[in-house]
Every structure is written in structure tokens, then in C-alpha cells.
Structure 1
Amino acid sequence: MEEMIPFKSLHSREYQGHKKKVHSVAWNCTGTKLASGSVDQTARIWHIEAHGHSKVKDMELKGHTDSVDQLCWDPKHSDLVATASGDKSVRLWDARSGKCTQQAELSGENINITYKSDGTHIAVGNRDDELTILDVRKFKPLHRRKFNYEVNEISWNISGDLFFLTTGLGTVEVLSYPSLHRRDTLTAHTAGCYCIAIDPKGRYFAVGSADSLVSLWDISDMLCLRTFTKLEWPVRTISFNYTGDYVASASEDLFIDISNVQTGRTVHQIPCRAAMNSVEWNPKYNLLAYAGDDKNPKYNADEGVFRIFGFESS
């Protein structure tokens, strides 16, 4: 019987540094740093202490000339982070110095980026439904493929031999890796599939859709186990916690849903003031970072904030 976390007694803290709205938040592999990417053309690195209340230091990563839409950390190196931007470039940064160490110019506006779990390859998706796979060492494209349907979020499985694409057709394409031959097409939802998350234990993946449902799949037999039905708007972002017991999902609903993976039941809802763009659980603790379209009510301007839920009251 799993132990219930007393989510009700936990609260959120707000972090402000960006000048415009935050599109993406991601934790490094040790759970000590968080990166945020913003419409203000920068990314920032924040040192977060799980239980401490110390003043948070942050560092700005400057160089992109358009919105930083998604970012991800090297799964094997706690100080390397990759950013994908609308300026058509992908950059690799050292979070200790704040310097860009590698840069690749690609063919379109980049909206999705993900690392292979061994840290050797990065996959990037753009607005033209083109997938590029980069070798991290040389920072050169290994594969390029254009799809004739809408490709949304992308991900490898934990072992790196499968590659997933969520599509505007309501399907999940499962490709063998590295061949990129199609292995399976899963008819997952009645509307476009927007986002995908892999359970850190490698048992499941979850898919969020425009039909407002989240579906949970067994990764070994590719069968749908259950759906989560709490949200009423298209699901934009999902994440499993570090034990794989909980899945967080968010949309334009004014709450983030946290559900028990085994029962499908909601265990907590985090209220929020705007549509959410990104939720991500810390890989070591039950801390959930989230960012959305928050506006300052006084000026009706983007707030440029993100929040982290899971702190105990001091």
C-alpha cells in the first residue's frame, strides 16, 4: 500500500527573473538546479535547495535572438543544459560559467528538445514538423526527417531503443532507434496528442491530448491502462514524479492536477492563475516546478515568473 504524501500541507514559492512569460522549466539530473526558458529570449539557471530557505542565486544565459521555447538538461551531467529557440538555433550551455559551449543552426523554428538517456544524442522538433537528431559531441545532425503530419512532443524511452512522437492525428508514433523505422502507431486520443512523459522507472508513459484527457500506457506491451479525466481543456504539459507514483498534468484549467498513477484518482490540485506551459517534477524530491501565462493584474503584462510546489511551511 503506497504511502500518501500530505500534499495539502505543502505550498508554492514564486521565482521571478524573466521579463516575459516562461515557456519551459526543467530540473538537472541531481535535482539541485532548475533551468527556465522564456519569451524574453533568455534562459536562467536557479540553484534550488529542497529544504533550505536561502536566497536563490540565478544566472542568465544570453545569446538567443528569439523565444527560448524548450530546454532540457544532460541526463548524465548536472551542469550542461540545451536550449531550443525560435531563432532556429540549438545551444548547449555550461551552467557553471553561463557560457554557450556548442551551437547548431537548424532549418526551422525549434519548439521541442529532448536528450537520450545516456546523454549522447539530442532530438529537436520544429514548427515545420521536422525532426533533427544531433550528436552531442560534434553537435552535428545525425538524422533529419520531415513528417507530413503535425509532430508535437518527442521522447526516447529509458533504454534509448525506442523514440516516441506525439502527433496532431491523435496518435503516438513509436519508432525503433537508431533506425527510426516505425514500430507501432498507437491510436491514443480522439484529438491531437500534445505532450508525452516517460515514467522514471521505465514502466509507463503518459500522453496528454487536446481532448483534455491524459492516457497512461504500459511501455512493454503498448496498451492503454487508464485515463485521467480531471482537466477540461487541452492538456499542454505532463510529468511523473521521481518514484513514478504520481503524474501532474496541466492545461488552461486554473489548477494543476496531481493524480495517483495506480488508481487514477486525484490526490491534490494546485491552484494557478493562468494557463500552464510547463510542469516538471524534481528527479529526487517531490518538488513540482510550473510556469504559465501569468499576467500582472495591475499592468496586464507578462509576469515572467515560475513557481515550485512542495515546500513545507516554515
Structure 2
Amino acid sequence: MAPPNRAPALSKTQFPGVFKQFKPAVFSESLGPRPSGLIQKIAAVSWSPTGALIATCTSASIRVWSAERPNVRSSTELKNAHAKGGATFGSPGVSGEVIDTLAFCPTTEGVLASSGRDGLIRLWDVRVPGTVAHVGGKGMALADCKIGGEGHFLKWHPNGREMLVGRHRDQIYSVDIRRVTALDATPVYSMESTERIHRASKNYYDMSFSNTGREIFATAEGGSVDIIDYPSMTRLHTLKGHPETTYAVQQSPAGTCVAVGGADANISLWSTHDWYCMHTLSAPGQLMSVKDLSFSFDGAYLVAGCGDAARDGTPGIPIYHVDTGEVVHTVETVNCPTFVAWHPTQYHVAYAGDPGGLKVVGKPAEAV
């Protein structure tokens, strides 16, 4: 997959004047001229690696949007995506299990992984009509892998061939994905048997890979974050900067820092050079707990959400400047944002939690 073009960087002084001009686009599942006023309980938001697609999950269904076409007619719905025996594009009449989370493969456009309360990790080809795509189906289940219970989190390795899945907070599984090229050159995937690679001595709430994939950052009770060697799962170091449970962790795409969100409503930023806490970010009354984090593609800006705690805070999305810790702009919202995600190459922020459905606000590429 060729690397997509990135938008030129916006400085801290440029950012507010540009970003405040743009209103959010509503990706509503309503077919009417006006978006529904209902609040969808979206459980995850994920951009594809090129930014052409956005995936969300609500209850037992997955919706994949064309990022350039917010109309629901241009989207793909996987109804009852974790129904027994798999699902295909818009499968009717079959009840499905609740989907816990989903994430696009970081290296292959249109490949999505989801975890459901049926104890399966499911791999999808979800390429949508009207988007640039390779040969393949649309909304097709490619492979399943059993983990025996609901997936607490699901994180791709940067190589796009492995995933970490937390079944329970002290059980972490490794899922290995192998790509086989068929005679018709259509990508075919199979999932190897899943092996529990680590039984932790503490509860881990979230994990993420470092940019190199050689380390894992793991949030835990007591306000700590463990840095763990991968794949040996040996603990290398522990960061301690929060008085309460840490829920979310992410390394900056620039590689210079790691952001940690906790139950204390704060975000700590740690330098990867010396593991010194650079800043502690907070927006009084904004979030009661930080359960979702996302860096902009250049690592210059950071946003946060409260995860599934939909009423756990007040409206607005502060956009933090990573180097200084300042709030350079606040996106106006009706409710506290739940899940947030920066576009992989542009200054667009997708977020859930407001009436109408998924919303995206940002700076169009052509206006750069």
C-alpha cells in the first residue's frame, strides 16, 4: 500500500484560526434530510490506514463509512456481524452478539478486525463502493479466531500481521494473521490458533504497541503503566504518574512521547528519551476519566474521550498542543465525547457521543 499524502503541518499559532472555521459533518444512519436526534451508543471509532474509510460499531452491527460521503447510502452495514456462522453484507434475520471493539489493520486498506461477546475475533474485508480498493469483496467475513470470551481490547501490531487481545484484564492473547495469495490474486487471510501468551499478575485495562512493535504499553490499577518487552512479555519499566487507575495509553506517531489517561481526569505525557513526565494535561470538569486517546498524524496535537462512560464529563473536545501542553482549540459538542480518533494523514477528528451519530470535524485536504 503506497503511503498517502500528508497535510502540511499547522503550527500552534496557525491551528486555532484554521480549525475554528469548520463545522462537523454528521455521519447519520437516518435516511431523512435531517440527522436523527438519537444518540447512538458507538463502542469504537477507527480510520482505515489511508483515511478513506471510517468504521464504527453499535450493539451487534458494524457500519463502514466512506470518509468523503457522509450519506448512509454510501456506507456498508454489517448487520449482526458476530452472528453464528458469520455474516455477509447486510445479512438479515439473524441475531448477533454485541461487538466490543474493532480496529482497521494499519497496513492493508479495507481489512478490519472486530471482537464480539461470542468469544470470536473476526477479520473482515469491508471495502465500500466508490472508494479506491484492491480486488475483493465488500463486507465479507474472511476468518474467525476463538478466544473463549469477550475481548476487552484489540490492538494491531504495526506490522499488520499480529494483534493483542485482552480477554480478561489479566489474560492477554496473541492472534497471528497470515496472508496467502490465491490464484486469482485476491488476498485471502487465515488466522492461526490463538495462544494465551501472558497471564498477568495485575489487571490491565488497555494495551498499545510502541511504534516499533518491540514494546507494549499497558495501563493498570494503582495509576501505573507497565512497559513490556514483546514478544517475551517481560516487564521492562513502570511509569507511575496517576493516583488512580490508568485506562488509555498511546505513543505519539513522532515517537517522542507517550500519553496516558486515567481515572483522575488527567493525561500525563512522558518523554521517551528519559521517561520523564513532560506535562500533565487537564480540562477542569471536561472528563471525569480519560478512557480514549488519539494523536494527530504528526504527533503535534492530542484529543481525549471518556470511552463508554457517556455521561462522564461535560461537552467539548479540547485539542492539546503536545509540546507545550496548551489547549489550542476546543471543538464544541452537545455531550461529552466518548470515542475520538484523528485522521491518519489530515487534521480531521472523528468523534462519537453526540446526537445524530458519528461526527467528523476538521480541515479539508484541499484547503491546506
SS at match of 2:107: coil
C-alpha contact (below 8 Å) 1:72/1:114 kept by paired residues: yes
Which residue is equivalent to 1:184? 237
Which residue is equivalent to 2:358? 306
Structural mapping, 1:42-191, within 5 Å? 42-49=61-68, 57-62=74-79, 63-64=81-82, 65-96=96-127, 97-137=138-178, 138-191=191-244
- Pick the structure with greater CA Rg: 2
| Percent identity of paired positions between Structure 1 and Structure 2 | 27
- Residue 31 (1) aligns with residue 86 (2): no
| TM superposition shift of 1:33 | 0.6
| TM superposition shift of 1:150 | 2.5
- Residue 288 (1) aligns with residue 349 (2): yes
Report the residue type matching 1:115 in the other structure: W
- Residue 11 (1) aligns with residue 66 (2): no
C-alpha contact (below 8 Å) 1:123/1:134 kept by paired residues: yes
| TM superposition shift of 1:139 | 3.4
Report the residue type matching 1:45 in the other structure: V
Q: 1:274 to 1:3 in 2, by over 3 A?
A: closer
Report the residue type matching 1:73 in the other structure: F
- Residue 242 (1) aligns with residue 297 (2): yes
Partner Cα separation in structure 1 for residue 265 and residue 301 of structure 2: 18
SS at match of 2:303: strand
Q: 1:228 to 1:125 in 2, by over 3 A?
A: same
Runs of 4+ that moved beyond 6 A: 52-56
Partner Cα separation in structure 1 for residue 221 and residue 250 of structure 2: 17
SS at match of 1:227: strand
| TM superposition shift of 1:21 | 1.3
Report the residue type matching 2:275 in the other structure: M
- Residue 223 (1) aligns with residue 276 (2): yes
Partner Cα separation in structure 2 for residue 46 and residue 61 of structure 1: 11
My pick for the range that moved more, 84-93 or 27-36, is: 84-93
Which residue is equivalent to 1:277? 338
SS at match of 2:328: strand
Q: 1:259 to 1:34 in 2, by over 3 A?
A: same
C-alpha contact (below 8 Å) 1:47/1:56 kept by paired residues: no
Which residue is equivalent to 2:7? none
| TM superposition shift of 1:8 | 1.3
Task: Mark the runs of 5 or more structure 2 residues left unpaired by the alignment.
Answer: 1-10, 31-37, 83-95, 128-137, 179-190, 307-312
C-alpha contact (below 8 Å) 2:210/2:251 kept by paired residues: yes
Report the residue type matching 2:124 in the other structure: W
Partner Cα separation in structure 1 for residue 169 and residue 315 of structure 2: 30
Higher strand share: 1
Partner Cα separation in structure 1 for residue 114 and residue 171 of structure 2: 17
Task: Mark the runs of 5 or more structure 1 residues left unpaired by the alignment.
Answer: 296-302
Partner Cα separation in structure 1 for residue 225 and residue 292 of structure 2: 16
What's the C-alpha RMSD, in Å, of the aligned pairs? Answer: 2.2
Which residue is equivalent to 2:88? none
TM-score, normalising length: structure 1: 0.89
C-alpha contact (below 8 Å) 1:102/1:139 kept by paired residues: no
Partner Cα separation in structure 1 for residue 201 and residue 243 of structure 2: 19
Report the residue type matching 2:244 in the other structure: A
Partner Cα separation in structure 1 for residue 154 and residue 268 of structure 2: 22
Partner Cα separation in structure 1 for residue 154 and residue 56 of structure 2: 14
Residues 110-147 of structure 1, C-alpha deviation per residue, up to 9 Å, x if partnerless?
Answer: 12111000112101113443211110123322443233
Picking from 308, 323, 327, the partner of 1:266 is 327
SS at match of 1:117: coil
